[in-house]
Structure 1
Amino acid sequence: MTMESDNAQKLRSLTRRAVVHAINDNGAGQTLTVEAHAGCPRSSVPVHQQFGLSSRAPLDGAVTHVVALGGDEADLLALPPANPSLAHMGNLASGETVLYDAVGQAVYLQDGKFVRVQAATEMTVEIGDVTVLDLTSKLATLNVPLQVNGSITASQDIVAGTVSVQGHLHVGVQKGSDTTGKPQA
């Protein structure tokens, strides 16, 4: 071998694709069991994950790239695993971002103007371990007082306690400019 081909081979061996056989997400950092060469699995390979984003790819079909740090095959580092066997959330416009999972739930940041959330069955908002908002396709539950600084428009009746805004009665009705009693249920 010439020196150039020897160096080229060394460079090629620094990184390679690997099949992911196991994902351990229980510790301070995620680790993988991977197989880059048939019959040579490697376990406890740390995953390089950026701060503020963590995910666990579905195992069946997961692949990654491993890097031999400093050219040392005993010191591998894996990039976050991907799973190309599952649907990729594509067709994004330039500058758009989507955070998604294996069942199609997604948070889209679109055009610098719009945030769209797609939830499979339910979406909750928690503040300090307290659910303040719970949304399903049938019901929105707000668990804190609501302050509205604009107007409210409702297409259906509003009920406060047991008093209907559209169907309540008044006591003490009189003619002229007199006032009535409180609304009755």
Structure 2
Amino acid sequence: MTDSYDNAQKLRSLTRRAVVYAINDNGAGQTVTVEAHAGCPRSDVPVHQPFGFSSHAPVRGALTHVIPLGGDEADLMALPPANPSTGHMGGLSEGESVLYDAVGQAVYLQNGRIIRVQAATEMTIEIGGEVVLDLTADLATLNVPLKVKGGIQASEDIVAGKISLQNHSHGGVQVGLARTGAPQA
């Protein structure tokens, strides 16, 4: 063999695709159990996670790439596992990003135009560990006081306490310019 062939083979061996058999996401860093060569599983391989993002791919069908650090096969590092069997959120335009999970929930950042969220059943927003907004397809629950600087439009009746905005009565009604009593339930 020639030196250039040997060098090319050495470069090719610096990274390889591996099947993921287990993901441990319980510690300070994520580790995986992988098999890059048939019959040679490796466990507790650290996963290189970029700052500010973490994921736990569904294990069934997951793949990763492993890199022997410094060319040392005893010192492997894995890239974040991917799972092509769960699909890819494609069809994005240039400059757009999406964060998604295995069931199709997604947060789309649509190139400065809109942030769109797709939730399967419920979406909550927490501040300081407390849920301040809880959204389902049937109900939005706001757990803090609401301050509105613009108008409020409603297609259905608004009820405050037991008093309907559309269907309430007033006491003390008099003819002329006199004022009525407060709305009654």
State the TM-score bracket (shorter-chain normalisation).
over 0.9
Equivalent runs, 1:83-122 vs 2, <5 Å = 83-122=83-122
2:20 counterpart of 1:28: no
Query: Which runs of 5 or more residues in structure 1 are unaligned?
Result: none
Instruction: Give the equivalent residue in structure 1 for 2:41.
Output: 41
Equivalent runs, 1:82-161 vs 2, <5 Å = 82-161=82-161
SS in structure 2 at match of 1:126: strand
- State the alpha-carbon separation in 1 of the partners of residues 82 and 111 from structure 2: 26
SS in structure 2 at match of 1:6: helix
TM-score (normalizing by structure 2): 0.98
What's the CA shift for 1:137?
0.2
- State the alpha-carbon separation in 2 of the partners of residues 134 and 100 from structure 1: 20
Return the letter of the residue paired with 1:6: D
What's the CA shift for 1:2?
2.2
What's the CA shift for 1:9?
1.4
Q: Indicate the RMSD between aligned Cα atoms, in angstroms.
A: 0.7
What's the CA shift for 1:179?
0.3
Deviation >4 Å, runs of 4+: none
Instruction: Give the equivalent residue in structure 2 for 1:167.
Output: 167
Q: Deviations over 1:132-151 (max 9, x none)?
A: 00000000000000000011
- State the alpha-carbon separation in 2 of the partners of residues 40 and 16 from structure 1: 13
Q: Deviations over 1:17-74 (max 9, x none)?
A: 0000110000000001110000000111100010000000000000000111111111
